[in-house]
Structure 1
Amino acid sequence: MHDLTGFQRDLLYTIAGLDEPHGLAIKADLEEYYENEIHHGRLYPNLDEIVAKGLVEKGELDQRTNYYTITARGHRELEARREWEDEYVDELLADSA
């Protein structure tokens, strides 16, 4: 997970939160979050990268549409990242209380 860009991490979180999303569903979700258009030239190469890293699997719905699912490794990476983030966020919240 440490070698992913922030955008790739956001892709991973988005895919984990949706049920076998296709590329355009992922794109729409991220556009809502970022409040900006996500271009295909940014989306699909980054999806391919997290697939190549074994964090996501790509399946085929039809000849034109792929869907994406998180792998067991992807789940483990998300959990590890969440635990790491919680260490700092919990500390921050405790300090501000």
Structure 2
Amino acid sequence: MHYLSGFQRDLLYVISGYERPSGQQVKDELEQYYDTEINHGRLYPNLDTLVNKDLVEKGQLDRRTNYYALTERGEEAMRKRRDWEENYFSFQE
């Protein structure tokens, strides 16, 4: 996932935490985390990039709403990232 921006990695984390969230759900979650508004011009092109890289699947919930879900490749990329992070960061209590 080294080839992704931090924002794109955050999108993957949010998508992985829901079952087929809509773009609006992803946007709402990120706005809470970033404490700022995420505009559509930033959100949807980055989601499309993840779809084009086969990390995220995009489907239709209804005529106006799409859902997003991690692909197998996306899940594997997330696992590898978590393993890499754990090599460098861990909480010790």
Task: Tell me the TM-score range normalised by the shorter chain.
Answer: over 0.9
Aligned position for 2:35: 35
Give distance in 1, aligned partners of 2:20 and 2:63: 16
Aligned to 1:77: 77
Larger radius of gyration: 1
SS of the equivalent of 2:20 reads coil
Gaps of 5+ in 2: none
Structure 1 gaps, min length 5: none
CA distance in structure 1 between the aligned counterparts of 2:38 and 2:61, rounded to whole angstroms: 22
| TM-score, length basis structure 2 | 0.95
Higher share in helix: 1
Q: Secondary structure at the match of 1:21?
A: coil
Give runs of aligned pairs for residues 1-97 of structure 1, distance below 5 A.
1-90=1-90, 93=91
| Identity %, equivalent residues | 57
| TM, length-normalised to structure 1 | 0.92
Q: After TM superposition, give the deviation of residue 2 of structure 1 in Å.
A: 1.1
RMSD of equivalent CA atoms: 1.2
Q: Distance in 2 between matches of 1:26 and 1:68?
A: 9
**Paired AA for residue 9 in structure 2:** R
